[in-house]
Amino acid sequence: MAALHLFHISTATFKMTSGPYNYSYIFKYIIIGDMGVGKSCLLHQFTDKKFMADCPHTIGVEFGTRIIEVAGQKIKLQIWDTAGQERFRAVTRSYYRGAAGALMVYDITRRSTYNHLSSWLTDTRNLTNPSTVIFLIGNKSDLDGQRDVTYEEAKQFADENGLMFVEASAKTGQNVEEAFLETAKKIYQSIQDGRLDLNAAESGVQHKPASPGRPLAAPPAARDNCAC
């Protein structure tokens, strides 16, 4: 971390100091779900691949992060991938700590992954704070022919549990961006509503009061490392 930051500083002077590169919040996400549902692929899709063209919003270097914009605010998303194996379930609880958003993923071609959702949900509810936004993602929507779980069924499950839901494809990138962005919007909303206490360490949100007018307040240069 320190090295990265030092790098930021060293290149900060070359950066334009305009708004897009600064951010005022950090949201922590976790991605949960059974093994093989494509959690990592979703993450990679979101942070790395498809969005190279969208330079201001992408961070290539820093681990699992991307900067997005919600309601004119730059928000840095920090996304933690988690191990989905059943045997690690008991020990992976520390992932949840301080997560502002949880992306619960299942594989629409494998019913078992859908069936496990309730236990994932229980964990999430138990281990995060009430304001944590949970988003259900049915991954591999590109494999519609092998579909094992219907959209309606999942939608119903989501509605019953008050989750947001979307079917996405890490492969094509369909709806991936939306899922992450919608979650961020919801979190930002709860911040605005005051439901989320920024000062609580467990909130999963860090507020970074930006000082855009000042020249020294150069944004992290990591966004600069985008290939475009």
Residues of this chain that interact with other proteins (CB under 8 A) are 1-6, 8-9, 12-13, 22, 26, 28, 35-36, 39-41, 44, 62-64, 78, 80-85, 87-88, 90-92, 94-95, 97-98, 201-202, 204, 206, 208-211, 214, 216-218, 220
User: CB-wise, 84 or 138, nearer to other proteins?
Assistant: 84
Kindly state the tokens that stand for 147.
């579909």
Minimum CB distance to other proteins smaller for 100 or for 158: 100
Q: Which is nearer to other proteins, 109 or 157 (CB)?
A: 109
For the chain, how big is the Rg over CA atoms in Å?
Answer: 18
Q: In whole angstroms, how close is the CB of 183 to other proteins at the nearest point?
A: 16
Beta carbon nearer to other proteins, 195 or 208: 208
CB of 151 to other proteins, least distance (A): 25
Residue 45's alpha-carbon distances to 55, 138, 179, in angstroms, are 14, 15, 12
Distance CA 160, CA 106 (A): 17
Of the pair 76, 157, the CB lying nearest other proteins is at 76
Question: For the packed helices 39-47 and 176-193, what is the interaxial angle rounded to 10 degrees?
Answer: 80
Contact call for residues 31 and 79 (beta carbons, < 8 A): yes
**Cα angle 133, 134, 140; round to 5:** 140
d(CA 102, CA 29): 5
Compute the residue count for the chain.
228
Q: How far is the CB of 58 from other proteins (least distance, A)?
A: 17
CB of 61 to other proteins, least distance (A): 10
